Every structure is written in structure tokens, then in C-alpha cells.
Amino acid sequence: MEDRAFTVSLDKNPVISMKVIPGHFTTSHFHTNYYLDLDNLKTNASVARDVAEELALPYLSSTLVDTIVCIEGTEVIGAYLADELLREGTSVVNSGRDIHVVTPRSNVNRQFIFHHNIQKVIYNKNIILLVSSISSGITFNSALECLSYYGGKLVGVSALFNAYPDMHEQEVHSLFTSKDIPGYQLYSPGECAMCKEGRKLDAIIVHDGYIRM
């Protein structure tokens, strides 16, 4: 499976790249024909800084930001993103401000929550939501519901990968989309074309990688 992997890079900065593995994969919500390895973007400090520079561009000159909410392991990028938004410059509107970088927790029902001591940097604050990937939209929508519940004012959403950028009411600034991956598909489990062809699953995608079948 891994020997079929290929790399997709950002045209204007090839350092920013993701490894793509073709196959038959399942998550708890959907089946897909590709596994996207985004770990290097999230854990390699020098690459994460480059990622943050790209993600900061839509916000630098026009968007006041109080808090960056990170989900799916994007905290390193979030810290660099805050640093980018705070740097001094005549067109940087957040210079001299404070920006908090926080991560929600999950309760027993897998709903996002903020502990009491963190809620003060969410309520009535200007929020950027930073996510690793948006595929089925279930986790993304759960995060939006969480921010709404705690009274956050969403001013931007940034993602490393967004499967279907035209399907969301909320604009998402993303590095990569399904248009960068030939033939990318998501299926509900009951409608999976690969299952109908009798093709066995290669792996189960989990929050920090995949488990081979």
C-alpha cells in the first residue's frame, strides 16, 4: 500500500507537502480511496512555520483575532500562526494585541467542550478555527457548534486540507483540496463503490494515523 504513495506539494512553496496513499480506507463516518498523511505539516517545526505563514495571509491586514482554536493536532501551527498575526508591520492589524491558542476537549459523547478556565478567551472573542482536514464535515460542524455554544465570534476557518471547498456555508482557507488529488472520493459506508466491487479494506483511519487490516 505504502509503495503506491505520492507527494502533493504547494506550488508556491514546495516545502509544504503531504504524502498521499491510495487504497480503500474507512473512518467511523465514511470510506475513502486515499489516506492523507499531514503529520509532517503539524509536527515538523520548520515546516509548521511555513504553513502558518501561508495560513496567516488572509487575516494579516483585515482581521482582528483574539483566540486561535486548534483541533486535530494543529497546536504547533496555531502557535506559529499567532506569531505571524502579531508581528509588527503597518498592515498587520493585530500588532501589540494578545492572541491565545487553545484546544477544546471531548466529553463522553465526543462533543467538544472548553473547561471553565478557558471559556473566558472564547466568549465574545474573535476566533480563528484551525483544523487539520475537513472531509465529511462532521468534526468540523461539531467544532462550529462548540464555538457557537460558548459564544465565540468566528472570524475565520483555516484547514490543511478541505475535501469539498464549495460545500460549506463558512469560507475555509485551505492549503490543499480534493482538486489536488486525482479521483479523490468519499463514500458513505453503504454506498462505497470499492465495497460494491468486493475490494477489501486496506486500513482503518484513526486520529493519529491508520491501522492496517
pLDDT in tens, 167-213: 777 889 999 999 999 999 999 988 999 999 999 999 999 877 899 98
- Secondary structure of the chain in HEC code, one letter for each residue: CHHHCEEEEECCEEEEEEEEEEEEEECCCCEEEEEEECHHHHHCHHHHHHHHHHHHCCCCCCCCCCEEEECCCCHHHHHHHHHHHHCCCCCCCCCCCCCEEECCEECCCCCEECCCCCHHHCCCCEEEEEEEEECCCHHHHHHHHHHHHCCCEEEEEEEEEECCHHHCCCCCEEEEEHHHCCCCCEECHHHCHHHHCCCCCCEEEECCEEEEC
Does this model's pTM top 0.75? Answer: yes
The pLDDT, as a whole number, for residue 60 is: 93
Predicted pLDDT of residue 13: 96
Any residues with CB less than 8 A from the CB of 142 and at least 6 apart, and which? 110, 111, 112
Name the β-bridge partners of 9: 17
**Domains, the chain, ranges and CATH?**
2-212 (3.40.50.2020)
**Per-residue pLDDT tens over the stretch 133-167:** 999 888 999 999 999 999 999 999 999 999 987 77
**CA distances to 43, 67, 177 from 2, in Å:** 20, 38, 21
The pLDDT value given to residue 207? 77
**Taking 70 as the threshold, does the pLDDT of residue 90 lie above it?**
no
Q: Please check whether residue 37 is in contact with residue 72, taking contact to mean a CB–CB distance below 8 angstroms.
A: no
Mention every residue, 6+ apart, whose C-beta is less than 8 A from residue 13.
50, 54
